[in-house]
Amino acid sequence: MKWAKAAVQLLWKIYLAAVLIISLLLLYPIYLVVLNFDSQLERGFKLTRFHAKLILFFTGIRTSVKGSIPRDNEVSYIICPNHSSYLDILLLYAVFPHYFVFMGKKELGKIPLFKLFFKKLNILVDRQNPKGAHEAILQASERLQNGTNVVIFPEGTISKIAPRLRPFKNGAFKISTRLGMPIVPVSFLDNYRLLADSAKFGASSRPGKARVVIHDPIYPNANSEDDLLILREKCREAIASAL
């Protein structure tokens, strides 16, 4: 029975990959148009949202959202989710309707087909280069000040111990305290069960309900090292409270 279950999970994972690639190839000509012009990036974002919802629909992943999305016309915000699966990215696009950009690792900009998204829609970080990391923080700060929301995974990478959280990095909280902009913690409850970050035969992969909890925004009190650490812990506690 275990082998049969593992085989079914593998087949579903292959099906998910096929849906992702085929839909991307079909939409790629449109992406090439809208993502090559800065004036069209918001249309590119809307297309990406549609694409994400399409993939979730055809692969049988249903979303359930608890909590309210901040009103985008009031202030820009930094979205800080736990990172337990590649599904996190699709769910963020499906759940948050207002324009945002990701801060992601530089290597993502080298993946064929996908590099168009990461080079144009998102901010790439060279984690091995302190100067590059600082420049990425400056880019994120500029985007926020210009009214664009920014997604930063505070764990930095997918957690191999999900649902437990990895240690949080300081980048998001440095930006928040410096600009006085709120953090919006997000908890993904099921993504690691639906699509585990593992190539092992039998790794969890299946359709199902993906529950998302959007917590109340957390505002920084001051631009100080102490407040940065307090803000980081408040965000961690909020995300962990739903896991």
Task: Find tokens 């290597």 and name the residue.
Answer: 107
According to the model, what pLDDT value does residue 93 have?
Answer: 94
The single-letter code of the amino acid at 52 is A
CATH number among 3.40.50.800, 3.40.50.300, 3.20.20.70, 3.40.1130.10, domain 2-242: 3.40.1130.10
Question: Using CA atoms, how far apart are residues 21 and 23, in angstroms rounded to an integer?
Answer: 6
pLDDT at 110 > cutoff 70: no
Instruction: Check if the beta carbon of residue 214 is closer than 8 Å to that of residue 67.
Output: yes
**pLDDT tens per residue across span 175-210:** 999 999 999 999 999 999 999 887 777 678 899 999
Q: Where are the alpha helices (DSSP H) in the chain?
A: 2-34, 41-58, 87-95, 115-120, 130-145, 171-179, 191-194, 225-242
> 47 vs 14, 31, 107, CA distance in Å?
24, 8, 23
**pLDDT tens per residue across span 18-63:** 999 999 999 988 988 888 777 788 888 999 999 999 999 999 999 9
SS3 of residue 228 by DSSP: helix
Q: How many helices (H) and strands (E) are present in the chain, helices listed first?
A: 8, 7
Domain locations along the chain: 2-242
Instruction: Check if the beta carbon of residue 63 is closer than 8 Å to that of residue 91.
Output: yes
- In 3D space, the residue among 175, 161, 40, 57 whose CA is nearest the CA of residue 99 turns out to be 40
